[in-house]
Amino acid sequence: MSEMGVAAASELFARGQEQIGRVIAGQEEAVAQALLTMLCGGHALLEGVPGVAKTLAVKTLARFLQLEFRRVQATPDMMPADILGTNVFSQKTGEFSFHKGPVFTQFLLVDEINRMPPRTQAALLESMEERQVTADVETMRLDEYFTVFATQNPVEFEGTYPLPEAQLDRFLLKIKVGYPDVAEERVVLERHHASHSATGLADTPIEPVPFELLAAARREIRSVRVEPAIFDYLLAIARRTRDWPSISLGASPRAAASLLLVAKGYAAREGRDFVIPDDVKEAALPTLRHRLVLRPEAELEGFDADRVVRDVLAAVQVPK
């Protein structure tokens, strides 16, 4: 791999942290994981309580990458056509024409996705997996940069529909967005105080990235080298989750492939064109935490997916 190719992703991450940091105080790892999701060609589920800048982070990332952004607010009465689009009859022509829904974009933010009824959640599956929409007998391709960022509130369950495992498995990463620390929250207050815009921080000037750098970074991640020992390490982690005592549903082959891709992304972020075990460890939590189903007794004992993933990592021998 050329030196320019190796430098592309690391430069993009550095510039992203700097520019998005002008708008979002703190949340560096969440922002990096959101950027990584897009560079890997995946989708992300952002989980955090209201008011921690999940929506603002995605909007700012779209501005930084100069990609089209659309937002959907999920509601319990939302229908598939509200996202995909629908055929509309024209009185003038006497024919039906397809009016595209918000899914026909590059960055789609689905706020509070677990408020969608199951039928509407399922309508997103084809778009997320195959980047296409089928209406009647016609199949329409989505943009190559089409990325879904969905948010959900971890503490509010009334009026929600838990995402099924098949839907969760379509998300490359589950990004946890927590509270900022004291210093970061003070910066948030100071920025709001200094802002004279009705939209707050959303209009803060940032310097967008050249499209050529974005395309080069995407190519670089796909080209990162993986040694046989790393393949064995990845497989050992995925297969160990399937017979782990506190897990009733372990990582699927798709999860193992996702772990490989995200590990390559972490390597490229550091400017390396090869994966090391530390990349796999760093990728494991956001890649696996939403794909594992814990046994009820494990949850009663206070276990969560993050703790179980860490336990699995500790039990699998690291290649030398």
CB 295 within 8 A of CB 248: yes
Mean pLDDT of 212-224: 92
The fold for domain 3-199+208-216 equals Rossmann fold (3.40.50)
Can you tell me the distance from the alpha carbon of 63 to that of 58, in angstroms, rounded to the nearest whole number? Answer: 9
Q: Can you give 57-125 as a three-state secondary structure string?
A: HHHHHHHHHCCCEEEEECCCCCCCHHHHEEEEECCCCCCEEEEECCCCCCEEEEECHHHCCHHHHHHHH
Please give the helix or strand (H or E) that residue 138 lies within, else none: strand 138-141
CB 176 within 8 A of CB 44: no
pLDDT at 67 over 60: yes
CB 227 within 8 A of CB 274: yes
Q: How do residues 240-261 score in pLDDT, each as one tens digit?
A: 999 999 999 999 999 999 999 9
Q: How do residues 123-179 score in pLDDT, each as one tens digit?
A: 888 889 889 988 777 888 999 999 999 998 877 666 677 888 888 889 999 999 989
Average confidence score pLDDT of the chain: 89
| Highest-pLDDT range among 62-71, 161-170, 198-207 | 62-71
**Degrees (nearest 5) of the Cα angle 284, 290, 292?**
85
Per domain, the residue ranges of the chain are: 3-199+208-216, 224-315
**Within 10 Å of residue 232's Cβ, how many Cβ atoms?**
12
**Lowest pLDDT segment from 20-24, 65-69, 114-118, 191-195:** 191-195
Q: Is 247 helix (H, G, I), strand (E, B) or coil?
A: strand
Could you tell me which of 44, 22, 20, 21 has the C-alpha nearest to residue 33? 44
> Where does the pLDDT of residue 231 fall: very low under 50, low under 70, confident under 90, or very high at 90 and above?
very high
pLDDT score at 198: 57
pLDDT at 199 over 80: no
Which has more pLDDT, 262 or 28? Answer: 262
**Lowest pLDDT segment from 84-88, 178-182, 232-236, 283-287:** 84-88
pLDDT score at 157: 64
**Lowest pLDDT segment from 54-63, 89-98, 280-289, 299-308:** 89-98
Query: What length is written for the chain?
Result: 320
CATH 1.20.120.80 fits 224-315, yes or no: no
Question: What are the Cα distances from residue 239, in Å, to 16, 165, 243, 253, 290?
Answer: 35, 18, 7, 9, 16
pLDDT score at 6: 64
> Where does the pLDDT of residue 91 fall: very low under 50, low under 70, confident under 90, or very high at 90 and above?
confident
The encoded tokens of residue 143 equal 């943009």
Q: How do residues 96-135 score in pLDDT, each as one tens digit?
A: 778 889 999 999 999 999 888 888 888 888 889 889 988 7
The burial of 180, by beta-carbon neighbours within 10 Å (0-12 exposed, 13-18 middle, 19 or more buried), is given as: middle
